Structure 1
Amino acid sequence: MVDLKSTASILSYEKNLEEQHKRAGRSVGVIAILFMSFRTLGVIYGDIGTSPLYVLSAIFPDPPEDARDVIGICSLIFWSLTIVPMIKYVFIVLRADDNGEGGTFAFYSILNKYSGLSVNGESRSDDNSIVRYDTSSTHSFKQPNLIARYKLIQNALLIIVLFGSSLVMSDGLLTPAVSVISAVEGIAIKAPSLETYIVPISCAIIVLLFLAQRFGTNKVGDWFAPIVFLWLVTIASTGIWNITKHPDILRSFNPYNIFDYFIRNKGLGFNSLGGVLLSITGVEALYADLGHFNRISIQLSFPLFVYPTLTLAYLGQGARIILDPSIVKPNAFWNSVPDNDLIYWITFVFATLATIIASQAMISATFSLVHQAVQLECFPRVKIIHTSKVLEGQIYIPEINYFLMIIIVIICIVFKESANLTNAYGVAVGSVMVITTILTSITICVVWKLPIILSITFLLIFGIIDLSFLISTLRKIHEGGWFTLLLAFIICLIMIIWKWGSRLKFQHALKSKTKLEHIFVNDDEPDKGDEEMIEKDVSIDPSSKIAIGEMEPSNELVDGNSTTKEMNFGEIKIRKGVNKSQIRLASSGFQVSRLPGIGMFYNEVAFGVPLTFRHFIQHFPAVPQILIFITIRPVAIPYVGDDDRLVVRKVSNYDGCYNIIARYGYMEKISQGQEFVKKMLESIHKFDPTHEGLLENSNHVTYVVSQQQLHPKLNASWLKRLLIYCYVFLVNNSRQLYGNWNIPIEDVVDVGMKIAL
């Protein structure tokens, strides 16, 4: 007999064990989130966390005469931290993620995606099918919107995004300078004789920081979070110590003090907003660095730890200023540190390390922005080195690194003091905040599909706040703010010219495309039996997404827009017996030899035969046995899965001739090496299993790329000629297109051509 008691006990035990496993899984998940939240301290909050070093000194260039002014400023700082980083960024903007990625280009990506647009001018519906949404902030694209219908709106959106990215890059130049100098200035408080060495020491730290970039941040990344954690604990403890000396500073939590401050000071009070803005510098990092972590980790770390520690630090400095207004000269922060040598020098060490981390965060963000811009064809090609085998986002760009180092050292020498740099610093942050508000309001309507009244409300509330900060900083533009705007304008102009020139080249390639039938002829007539279409079963993984085109009876080029479909089942149609392996040139009648190996001709257009091939075949009437016309397509998503990487088509019915589209996200490294070739041939074999010897040719690959000499047309206007000459200058001074593609240089053949744009 079955022992029911034993059976019930076993079932009860198994049920309890299952519940324990679930609870353990939840516990592990909670611990992982908490640990990730801790790690955000070392990457995201370096900039905003070091702002207490210089904010109150920038707001009060002279000792304040009224304690109510100090309370009003501290109230402004508290509510600014609450409204902008906390409410706007942490709980609203972070929801505008692009498959987990953030930043200005993420806005561009999702807005393009939901408008059915392509990043390189060639709109294809099959690119939209590879996007997968897992967050609650996304909806599927259904019908054309205003962005899709009007070219003017598309261009305006692109310019806004490029200018916003340029401002973040220019901000990346000022952050290391202002942060490091403000920390090193602490030497002069305890050792006045070293004051003349502040700038040289700051420059030395910056040079060492940039020289260390080539080793990658992964080697020191584990140390970042504990250092910033100790730094924030230190300034919060100092703040509490100062608050106990003058508890009346806690009145700053009352927003009435803000209105009282503005009423009493009128125009001078509005000017103070430029200094208050410095307390929230680094908010762009909350969004830009989203891809390194996740939304929940940031939504935990900022409200629960960063926000209260910064509040205590600012209130503590305010309390000390009320007791002794003279401490604002030369630096309110360092004069508010307890008068104890050990505490002072420990604070100095943590401040220096924290400012280095803040600088590192902005340098890494600049590298990431440049990388994304290159992938989206918005920036000249540069050498990109991946410093981590585990973390894809950790990159190093030598040209940008040394350019930043030289410019930042010059900035330190010219401006000399952190107070001089803060005037230039706020303009970039205020401008980025306004652009983020505009893009978020568009996202609320276009992407999240919420009522337009919510989009307008968001734009009005946060737009007024951001514009107030920006206008306040613009009033000091003659004191240094011009530098940031000028630098951002130059970077933006470079990106606009590059994007414009790339589109012009693409349009020329589109007009110059041809068909293989216009290049080759075949005298052999096919038999009637050859016209027969047969059905053939092919074993294909149902999850595979290799796009194929059905072969039509005519020899017309298969257009992917009309005949391409996704292969989700194991049945394809194959033309039987048409032999076009023996071909000759239509122009000269020369016989074309078929050589062993694979020839990959890179094509800017996803269909048709590139001008490179036509130019090549006219001089060398020989083609490889396997002829591939390949297009590298950047798509407006961060990453593309392996199943969606390749689109494979047959070029008419010529033996061994294929069109390939290789799709890459803007956060990915383009790789065309041996591993890619192997996967490509496997995909071709699934599409065309009748072709034998594909995999055997994988070691004999020739990469044929175009080496173009660009020049303006004779009838071009003077403005267009000037822009083309600027674009040509950028092309000539940028890296080769395939320089970062992991292609063996000895297997590359350059085909030179002159192109009039």
Structure 2
Amino acid sequence: MHGHAKTSLAGLGLAALGVVFGDIGTSPLYTLKTVLDLAGGKPDPATVLGILSLVLWTLMIITTIKYVTVAMSLDNDGEGGILAVMSLVGIKKHRPLIVAIGLFGAALIYGDGAVTPAISVLSALEGLNMVTPTFQPYVLPAAVVILVILFAAQPLGTERIGKAFGPIMLSWFLVMAFLGLMGILHHPAVFAAVNPLYGLHYLFAGGVTGFLVLGGVFLCVTGAEALYADMGHFGPTPIRISWLAIVFPSLILNYAGQAAIVLEGTPTDGNIFFRLAPGWALIPMIGLATLATIIASQSIITGAYSMTRQAIQLGWLPRLAIKQTSSEGYGQIYVGSVNWLLMIVTVALVLGFRKSDNLASAYGIAVSLTMLMTTVLLFIAMREIWNWNVAAAGAVAAVLLVVDLAFFSANLVKIADGGYVPLLLACAVYGVMWLWHHGMEAVQKRYAEDLMPIGDFTAHTVAQQTPRVPGTAVFLTRQDTDVPAVLIWHLLRNRALHRDLIVLTVSGAAVPWINADKRLEIKELAPRYWRARATFGFMERPDIPALIDRMKHHGCVAEMEDITYYVGHTTVTHRDDGQGLPRWQEVIYAMLERNSIHAGDFLLLPSEQTVELGRQIAI
């Protein structure tokens, strides 16, 4: 809960409403309508109560039990989400399969992240069709305009707007609860659906239809993974309190209210959610719903930025330009390439599917697979971190796996109707992660062939009577031992060295944050030659000048006022001896390398003091 120690629990809870619960909080706009359509549009009491029971118990089992209770009890130095858990049980223990599961789960979130803004904004604006049919031609263009404005505003940062997110979402949940309660008063017997037997009976008696309905029911919890991923921003307690005190009751009341008016005979065409509102309140309600869906979309976009930064720090994505949009919150960042790619995909989805009903077919499959992978990681964590015995961990994991597998299987039938879209997006993201990491490993192997032991280097400079000029040179390298290639290149080209030499390796750790006293290791290996290693967590951004300034506390007496930073710039070429990467991998990695930002920019090195040394390397 970094940076929130002085913030009140109530303040954190209110902020969490605006950031964490946007996706799951706007799901009543389309979930029940989608489920009833899958059920054949037959609003008889057995169907409606069965569906409502499935929705209520899905919210209970997946969100309340799995995520709010179990998953949020497991953190990686305060951070949650599939990447944090993957780092905890995969990277630290060097398990490639577990790492692959975690990375693909993260890639899947990108896939559904593009669908969420599209379906949310469309479903809110479609309420205009209920005001008058004349609005219908304008719904699609309006959705596109709102989404384009939302993405175009991202470089400005969300600090000011973000302060209003919490109160707006609080209003949204309170209005949803009130409308739901008004609906329930028309048919109070709807509360019978609290009995899970209604849901189980419908599920097993409905045959294929009952099974397919699960794909629609799952839409009510597509935002549950966000609760876990955003845990580091607020801590588990404010999120749990907000969920149990406000969000969960509001969702239950609203779903029950929608079911009640359907039982009473309200038509199911159009948007059932908006039929809860009296005529005079319809347009204000559409406005509030649109605001809520914009906030939900903002949360997804911000989450994509955070996940991108984590993947970069862990070495699974190319270096991308990251802009800090606020000095107050570390999570307030902007990643331009991710923003514009998401915008293109999201707008394309709106134009391609045109209606929220159609988008519902593409929604859910990626998140259901992510949830399945999270359960696998949770089982490993129960055994190895919590030290539960096999019976206890297996019993909890088995229940969760059965539920996850049921939803994933039901969502599989959506593949042909649009579910392939988020899967293809996820595969593309995972492919980039794998190729980048694999290419980096190949480059490091070639670099390792050019290393020189420190003793040989010192002897060479003495034998050649290499001149030493005033000042300090800092050489950035990924190698942990010996004299790196970038220093050797510098010596070969310039035939002189600075008086003080610092060889610095910057690495990412499988934890979000590194304590200041453990950040830096430095040792003088030869007179005025220091070897330093700096470690940053995957939620931190390296600031090398600030780090160099602190080296004086570790015995480094170099002249800190006169520093030149040297960074190697690699141009990748094909290796012709048959020992390198396949040609297609080398070509893609080279393209990613060319389009990633320079290491100096990523490490915040001052451009006027930085020298890049270029070299071709065959992989």
Normalising by the residue count of structure 1, what TM-score does the alignment of the two structures yield?
0.79
Match of 1:168 in 2: 109
1:281 to 207, 211, 222: 222
Larger radius of gyration between Structure 1 and Structure 2: 1
1:88 to 1:30, Cα distance in 2 relative to 1, 3 A: farther
Match of 1:679 in 2: 550
Please report how far the alpha carbon of residue 390 of structure 1 lies from its aligned counterpart in structure 2 after TM superposition: 1.8
Q: Structure 2 CA distance, aligned partners of 1:509 and 1:728?
A: 16
Aligned to 1:371: 309
Amino acid at match of 1:304: A
- Higher mean displacement: 744-753 or 475-484: 744-753
Shift of residue 281, structure 1, vs aligned partner: 1.2
CA distance in structure 2 between the aligned counterparts of 1:65 and 1:110, rounded to whole angstroms? 47
| 1:37 and 2:10 correspond | no
Which of 151, 176, 179 in structure 2 is aligned with 1:238? Answer: 179
Please say if residues 99 and 637 of structure 1, whose CA atoms lie closer than 8 Å, have aligned partners that are also in contact: yes
Partner of 2:285: 347
Shift of 1:459: 2.2
* 1:695-718 deviation per Cα after TM superposition (whole angstroms, max 9, x unaligned): xx2221111111112223223379
* Cα offset, 1:204, TM superposition: 0.9
User: Is it true that 1:333 corresponds to 2:273 in the alignment?
Assistant: yes
Which residue in the other structure is 2:356 paired with?
A: 418
Return the alpha-carbon distance in structure 1 between the equivalents of residues 553 and 446 of structure 2: 32
Residue segments in structure 1 that go unaligned for 5+ positions in a row = 1-28, 118-146, 149-153, 523-582, 686-690
Mapping 1:529-540, distance limit 5 Å: none
Partner residue, 1:498: 436
Match of 2:52 among 67, 74, 91: 74
Matches within 5 A, 1:560-575: none
Q: Distance in 1 between matches of 2:474 and 2:562?
A: 11
Q: CA 1:353 to 1:65, structure 2 compared with 1: closer, same or farther past 3 Å?
A: closer
Q: Tell me the alpha carbon deviations over residues 280-313 of structure 1, each in whole angstroms, 9 at most, x when there is no partner.
A: 1100111000011011111211112111110000
> 1:224 maps to which residue?
165
Match status 1:748 vs 2:610? yes
Offset from partner CA, 1:624-657 (integer Å, 9 cap, x none): 1110111001111111122111101112xx3210
**1:725 has 2:587 as partner:** yes
Partner of 1:196: 137
Moved over 6 A (4+): none
Q: What are the residue-to-residue correspondences of 1:533-552 with 2, within 5 Å?
A: none
1:12-91 to structure 2, matched below 5 A, reads 32-61=8-37, 62-91=40-69
CA contact (8 A) 2:90 2:98 kept: no
- Structure 2 residue aligned with 1:452: 390
User: Match of 1:39, as an amino acid?
Assistant: A
Secondary structure at 1:631 match in 2: strand
How far apart in 2 are the matches of 1:701 and 1:65? 74
2:599 is equivalent to residue 623 of structure 1: no
User: Which AA in structure 2 matches 1:344?
Assistant: L
Q: Which amino acid aligns with 1:47?
A: D
**SS at the partner of 2:508?**
strand
The CA distance in 2 between the partners of 1:230 and 1:91, in whole Å, is: 26
CA distance in 2, matches of 1:276, 1:740: 43
Q: State the superposition RMSD in angstroms.
A: 1.8
**Secondary structure, aligned partner of 1:423:** coil
The equivalent residue for 2:84 is: 106
Give the one of 539, 551, 561 matched to 1:699. 561
CA contact (8 A) 1:231 1:347 kept: no
Match of 2:537 among 653, 661, 665: 665
After TM superposition, the structure 1 = structure 2 runs for residues 289-688 of structure 1, keeping only pairs within 5 Å, are 289-324=230-265, 326=267, 328-338=268-278, 340-341=279-280, 343-521=281-459, 583-584=461-462, 589=464, 591-651=465-525, 654-673=526-545, 675-685=546-556
Partner AA of 2:185 in structure 1: T
CA apart distance, 1:452: 2.1
Query: 1:458 & 1:595 partners in 2: Cα distance?
Result: 66
1:504 shift after superposition: 2.1
Are 1:594 and 1:625, in contact at CA under 8 Å, matched by a contact in 2? yes
Q: Distance in 1 between matches of 2:387 and 2:238?
A: 26
Q: Provide the C-alpha distance between the structure 2 equivalents of 1:718 and 1:701, rounded to a whole number of angstroms.
A: 37
1:112 Cα deviation from its structure 2 partner: 4.5
Shift of 1:99: 1.1
Q: SS state of the match for residue 221, structure 1?
A: helix
Q: Per-residue displacement from partner, 1:389-413 (whole Å, max 9, x unpaired)? A: 1211211111111111122111111
More helix as a share of residues: 2
Matched length? 614
Distance in 1, matches of 2:367 and 2:358, equals 16
CA 1:387–1:30 in 2, change beyond 3 Å: closer, same or farther?
closer
Q: CA deviation at 1:606?
A: 1.6
The structure-2 alpha-carbon separation of the partners of 1:505 and 1:446, relative to structure 1 and needing over 3 Å to count, comes to farther
Any idea what the Cα deviations from partners look like across 1:239-284, whole Å, max 9, x if unmatched? Answer: 1111111112111011111122124311100100000000111001
Contact 2:600 2:607 in 1 (8 A): no
Distance in structure 1 (CA, Å) of the matches to 2:450 and 2:583: 21
3-state SS of the aligned residue for 1:60? helix
* Equivalent residues of 2:53, 2:194 under 8 A apart: yes
Deviation, 1:30, is 12
Secondary structure, in 3 states, of the residue corresponding to 1:378?
Answer: coil
Q: TM-score, normalised by structure 2?
A: 0.96
Given residue 404 of structure 1, which amino acid in structure 2 is its aligned partner?
A: L
> For residues 357-392 of structure 1, what are the alpha-carbon distances to aligned partners after superposition, in whole Å with 9 as ceiling and x for unaligned?
000000000000000000111011110011111211
Conservation of the 8 A alpha-carbon contact between 1:65 and 1:325: no
Residues 86-114 of structure 1: per-residue CA shift (max 9 Å, x gap): 0110010001111111112111222257x
